[in-house]
Each structure stands twice: as C-alpha cells, then as structure tokens.
Amino acid sequence: MVFAIFGTCVDTPEFGEVRGLHEPTLVVVSSGCIQSLYRGRAAEESRKTLENQGVSVRVLHASEILVPGFIDTHIHFPQFPFTGAGIDKPLMGDDGFLVKYAFPTEESMSDLAIARSVYNAGLETLLRHGTTSALIFASIHCQASKELVDAAIRNRGPRAFVGKVCVDRHCPDSYIETTETSINETEDFINYTQARAAEAGHSPPYLVQPVVTPRFLPTCTAELLAGLSQLAERYKCIIQSHMSESIDEVEFSSALFEGKTDAEVFSDFGLLRAPSVMAHCVQMKCTEEDLLRDSGAAIAHCPLSNFFFASGALPVKQLISRGIKVGLGTDVAGGYSPSMLSSMRAAVLASKTLHFQYLPGAVQSSVGGLSVGAKEKESSKEQDDLSHFDALYLATMGGAASLGLQDLLGSFEEGKRFDAVLLTQVSTALSFVCRHDSREDLLQKILTLGDDRNVKEVFVDGQSVYSQP
Ligand SMILES: O=c1[nH]c(=O)c2nc[nH]c2[nH]1
C-alpha cells in the first residue's frame, strides 16, 4: 500500500543537525519503506501530483510534528513491575538494587503467565510512548524470552532486539545458570528468534532479533564470556552488556579479572565490536574510551539511572566529538520512566551537571583574574551542554547507529524503513501552548514537557501500530 504524509517532519540525520523545522516535508511510504521524500516547494508540488493520482495524502495539522520512531538502547523488561522502587539503594551488595529488587523480580519470569502479562504490558507501554525499537534485557529464562519475541511479532512492534540474560556466578542460587546451560540456551534462543524473524516475513532490520547478553562482568565467568563471544560471531548477533557503570561495580569486576578495566575484559573476549552496545560507561577510563572507539562499540546512555547508581554523568557531547557512538536508553527499572521523552530531558539535565564545579564554601584559587572553576566552567559548557535537539538525535539516529542500523532506521531518508511518531500539542501536559509558537518552540516544549498524551500515533515498518484512543 502507498500513502504519504505532508507537514512538519523533523529529524536529526547528524549530531548537531536538525531538518524540517522551517519547511514542509512530503514522505511517501510504500511497503513499509520511505519510497521518496520531498522538502519545501518540491513537497507542495509533489503533494498535488500524488493527490491527482489518487494516492492518499495525510496532511498534518499545525499542532502536529512527525519525528523518527524512538530507539531505546537499554531496557530491562522483567523489571517493569518494580519501576519507581529500589533506586535509593546502591547497585551492588547484599542490600543493593540488584539483590533486593532486580534478581527476585526477574526470577518471577520463570512463571510463564507472569512473563506473558509483564511482557505484553511492557510492549504496549513502549508503543504508547513512541518507542519503535528497543534493545531489551529479558531474564535468564529461555522460554520466557521466547514469549517476548512472540509477543513483539503479534503486536507488530516495537522492534524487539531481545537478549536472554546470561549469568553463571554471584547471583542467588535460585537465579543462576551453569555455564553450559547458559551457552546452550542462548544458542537455542538465537535459533528460535532468527527463525521467527524470517517466518514473520519482514525484511532487515526485522521485527525481532536475538542479542547475546552477558549481564555484566561480576556475574559472568571467563568461560561464559568466551562461549558467548563465539555465538555472537557465529550467528552475527548484536551484543549488549553493562560496562564501567558505577564505582562499586568497577571495583568488583577489577578484583575478578586481574585488575583489568571492564573494556579490557570485554575486548579480550571479543565482545567489543560493532554492533556491541554497552550501557552506562560513566566510570570509564581514557584507555577504555580508546577501546570503544577502535572497536566500533557503542554506549547506551541512561541518564536517569546514572543519577542514582553511577555517581557521575556521561560527557556525551565530548565522546561523540571523539568518534564514539552514543544512543539513549530508559534503563527501566534503574531508570524510573519508560518514556524516551523523559530520557531525553534527563540527558539534557545530566549534561548540565558536568559543569557543576562549585561546592558552597569551597576555597577557589585565582588564575589570570578568573577563578579556576569559572574558567573550566565556561569551556566545559561549550563542550558538554546538550540541547533538546541533540537529545532527539540520541533517541533516534544515535540509537540506529549504535545498533548498526544507520542505513535502515533513525531518520527520514529514501530507502529507510518508515518507523515514526506523530507528536501533538493537544494535551493537558502542555499548559502554555500558544497559537504563535514557532515549530522549533513547539517541538522543544513537547520534548521538555511531553509524555504519552503527546504521542498521537506510532508507525512501525509503515504500519500504524498505535493511535491514541
Ligand atoms: O541499572 C542496572 N540494572 C541492572 O539490572 C543491572 N545489572 C547489572 N548492572 C545493572 N544496572
């Protein structure tokens, strides 16, 4: 089926570039793909031609803006049930977030009825918030992870890149695998998911894909990492894990792996490559940054969760300028919101904290008439501040590039799949919307204040998969 959308269609093809704010765009969609695209006067003219040919052209209202579908590069699906709790704890330790909240809730996915209900609700939640692709941690249970794959196909979205989680040490007795089981069940899960993707009849990037998922270094032995690396290579899978996340995690991992950094260990086992997506990386050392860049691996930036566990903020803008790929994640439930709009504004806020350098009452020395702090503050603002449109890049094109799907998703280009979100101002969430708002101000208001009430319709692979009741 061919249809077209005409109106304000905004995308961010490169970091720092925003298109479509000042002229109309016509996007022509055929068989799930952007067949052609026109901007400005050419869009007006082609719209008339298409209408004369009897093609259905949907004209967007002045209050509506179409953007590429959001790509969540880090989310734990079994953790939905405790969203909002446990984030006052440290990550590690006997009384920490993992032991008290994450592991027990994930363990409950062994009950397939619970898994089905949590996973279906999770997929619906993501679509309602405009997420059209997600890189997902499931639980250690192979069958429950398959249920998630099936549910994503049944719902026709979001695109679900799913990892059966792998752990063979430092987990509770009731939530752990042997090395052999972990590797065998991962292979089974890969075979199942790749077969289901092909049966579902979609072309790349497919509606579902298996992801090789060593949880993080503290819970994986060297044997497990080696086995998973071989599987990722053999089946050409995306890899995901957590890396250099928090001070307690980095200390624990270093003690387990002969004082090495997280990136060194992942690299030694062949788990850093393109596409590997490593969540957090806030406690990364310079040498780790070099390993990431040279390997082509990406970072899933999870600013909300970083506020609670990481004791730091990721210098996103600097990392991108030095050639590192960065996408954005919600990290449910280390992050308390499933909304990528919420993650975008958290990313903007986190970037501002990078130049919080003053402690009230601290003594400052003076260099050339400027306090040292003030001098550093100025330069770091330039280097570090993310705009809302930079955050939109992270949530769309940054995610696509992180997953190795930059030629298929993330922006409005001829030949890419049509995954999109129609945002609207009509909502009680935006109390101060003015008739005279520029497109730029309207989009910034939605990115700053919006929630699922501002998501009017969602498209995956050219099909409308959610529209607001
Ligand atoms: O925020 C987090 N959530 C988790 O489930 C997890 N596992 C390892 N490291 C983690 N961090």
Q: Is 255 exposed, middle or buried (0-12, 13-18, 19+ CB in 10 A)?
A: exposed
DSSP state for residue 68 in the 8-state scheme:
E
Say if 205 falls within a structural domain: yes
Say if 282 falls within a structural domain: yes
435 and 311 part of one domain: no
Q: Which of 72, 75, 76, 100 to mutate to test the pocket of ligand 1 (most atoms within 8 A of CB)?
A: 76
CA-nearest residue, atom 10 of ligand 1: 242
pLDDT at 356: 75
Those residues whose C-beta lies under 8 Å from the C-beta of residue 314, and which sit 6 or more positions away, are 280, 281, 282, 299, 301, 303, 306, 326, 350
From CA 276, how far away is CA 331, in angstroms rounded?
16
* Pocket flag, ligand 1, residue 216 (CB < 6 Å): yes
* Pocket flag, ligand 1, residue 215 (CB < 6 Å): yes
163: helix, coil or strand? strand
11 and 48 part of one domain: yes
Say if 372 falls within a structural domain: no
H runs (alpha helix) in 368-464 = 372-384, 388-393, 399-402, 439-449
CA-nearest residue, atom 3 of ligand 1: 334
184 and 315 part of one domain: yes
Ligand 1 nearest atom to the CA of residue 305, by list position: 1
CA 178 to chain centre: 30
pLDDT at 373: 39
Both tokens assigned to 246: 């928090």
Domain boundary among 368, 402, 436: 402
From CA 114, how far away is CA 122, in angstroms rounded?
12
What's the domain range around 37? Answer: 2-68+411-467
Q: Which of 216, 248, 249 to mutate to test the pocket of ligand 1 (most atoms within 8 A of CB)?
A: 216
34 and 173 part of one domain: no
The angle, 0 to 180 degrees and rounded to 10, between the axes of the packed helices 142-155 and 179-199 is 20
pLDDT at 370: 36
Distance 296 CA to ligand 1 centre (A): 23
Q: Which of 82, 98, 105, 311 to mutate to test the pocket of ligand 1 (most atoms within 8 A of CB)?
A: 98
The count of structural domains within the chain is 2
Say if 39 falls within a structural domain: yes
For the chain, the maximum distance between any two Cα atoms, rounded to a whole number of angstroms, is: 73
Whether 78 and 104 have beta carbons less than 8 Å apart is answered as no
* Pocket flag, ligand 1, residue 76 (CB < 6 Å): yes
Within 10 Å of residue 21's Cβ, how many Cβ atoms?
16
Distance 98 CA to ligand 1 centre (A): 7
Whether 146 and 192 have beta carbons less than 8 Å apart is answered as yes
417 and 346 part of one domain: no
With residue 14 as reference, give the H or E element that holds it.
none
336 and 428 part of one domain: no
Spatial strand order of the sheet with 33-39 comes to 33-39, 25-30, 2-7, 56-59
ipTM of the prediction: 0.98
Both tokens assigned to 320: 């991108």
Whether 215 and 241 have beta carbons less than 8 Å apart is answered as yes
From CA 391, how far away is CA 349, in angstroms rounded?
10
Q: Which of 74, 87, 92, 97 to mutate to test the pocket of ligand 1 (most atoms within 8 A of CB)?
A: 97
From CA 242, how far away is CA 281, in angstroms rounded?
8
Length of the chain, please? 469
124 and 236 part of one domain: yes
CA-nearest residue, atom 8 of ligand 1: 216
pLDDT at 368: 37
Say if 461 falls within a structural domain: yes
CA 118 to chain centre: 20
Q: What is the CATH number of the domain that holds 173?
A: 3.20.20.140
Say if 376 falls within a structural domain: no
207 and 190 part of one domain: yes
Say if 265 falls within a structural domain: yes
90 and 47 part of one domain: no
Ligand 1 nearest atom to the CA of residue 334, by list position: 1
Q: Would you give per-residue pLDDT tens digits along the chain (469 residues)?
A: 899 999 999 999 999 999 999 999 999 999 999 999 999 999 999 999 999 999 999 999 998 999 999 999 999 999 999 999 999 999 999 999 999 999 999 999 999 999 999 999 999 999 999 999 999 999 999 999 999 999 999 999 999 999 999 999 999 999 999 999 999 999 999 999 999 999 887 778 999 999 999 999 999 999 999 999 999 999 999 999 999 999 999 999 999 999 999 999 999 999 999 999 999 999 999 999 999 999 999 999 999 999 999 988 999 999 999 999 999 999 999 999 999 999 999 999 999 998 876 556 655 444 433 343 343 444 478 889 999 999 999 999 999 999 999 999 999 999 999 999 999 987 665 666 666 788 999 999 899 989 999 999 999 999 999 999 9
Distance 181 CA to ligand 1 centre (A): 22
Ligand 1 nearest atom to the CA of residue 249, by list position: 9
80 and 52 part of one domain: no
78 and 56 part of one domain: no
Distance 331 CA to ligand 1 centre (A): 8
| Phi–psi pair at 392, nearest 5 degrees | -65, -40
Q: Report which residue type is found at 205.
A: P
449 and 339 part of one domain: no
Say if 208 falls within a structural domain: yes
pLDDT at 311: 83
Q: What is the CATH number of the domain that holds 415?
A: 2.30.40.10
Distance 461 CA to ligand 1 centre (A): 31
* Pocket flag, ligand 1, residue 334 (CB < 6 Å): yes
From CA 332, how far away is CA 74, in angstroms rounded?
8
CA-nearest residue, atom 2 of ligand 1: 334
